[in-house]
């Protein structure tokens, strides 16, 4: 019976570890705060330039990948930019996506709840853009980096930081 108990315990504990998955495993190659920012700021600049975006403003935040503001963290950029009229927006978004694919991005599934929006990925960075829900003349672009920053930022002041000037090359 001791052998049976040990065998069952081994199977249960092994199964428990498998259910947790890679999301709770230690990050193999962590990023610094500056690397996390660069990982999303460079694609933001690429998108602005290649997509010929006008009226751009942007903010940056190092955000938790967990629900409790615990590590790991990822860099996140939110951009707002001008879009043409409603009828021209699909063509405009198509040209932005085409320009970005020439810069190594791959197009993915369209974003939920944003008809006509696009999703692009490159080297662990995800870019989602769509017409702004509140202002029809503006578009929104969200850029998310990898969850590889393990520095504890729970006590840091939070808030989006204006990076509009840094988006211009």
As a whole number, mean pLDDT of residues 6-13 equals 75
pLDDT in the model for residue 169 = 64
CA torsion 152→154→156→162, rounded to 10°?
A: 90
| Residue 70 pLDDT | 86
* pLDDT score of 42 more than 80: yes
Q: Is the pLDDT of residue 20 over 60?
A: no
- Per-residue model confidence as pLDDT tens digits over 102-129: 999 999 998 888 888 999 999 999 999 9
CB atoms within 10 A of CB 48: 19
Q: Are strands 118-122 and 125-131 parallel, antiparallel or unpaired?
A: antiparallel
Distance CA 111, CA 47 (A): 17
What pTM, to 2 d.p., does this model score?
0.82
Backbone angles phi, psi at 162, to 5 degrees: -65, 125
Asked if 51 contacts 100 with a C-beta cutoff of 8 angstroms, the reply is yes
Cis-peptide, bond into residue 72, ω within 30° of zero: yes
């Amino acid at each position: 019976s001791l052998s049976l108990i040990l065998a069952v315990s081994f199977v249960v504990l092994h199964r428990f570890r498998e259910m947790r998955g890679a999301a709770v495993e230690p990050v193999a190659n962590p990023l610094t705060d500056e690397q996390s920012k660069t990982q999303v700021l460079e694609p933001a600049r690429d998108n602005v330039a290649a997509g010929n975006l006008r009226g751009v403003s942007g903010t940056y935040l190092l955000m938790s990948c967990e629900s409790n503001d615990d590590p790991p963290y990822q860099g996140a950029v939110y951009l707002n930019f001008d879009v043409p009229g409603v009828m021209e927006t699909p063509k405009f978004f198509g040209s932005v996506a085409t320009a970005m694919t020439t810069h190594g991005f791959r197009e993915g599934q369209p974003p939920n709840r944003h008809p006509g929006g696009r999703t692009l990925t490159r080297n662990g960075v995800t870019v989602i853009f769509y017409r702004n829900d509140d202002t029809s003349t503006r578009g929104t672009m969200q850029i998310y980096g990898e969850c590889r920053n393990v520095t504890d930022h729970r006590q840091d002041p939070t808030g989006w930081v204006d990076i509009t000037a840094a988006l211009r090359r």
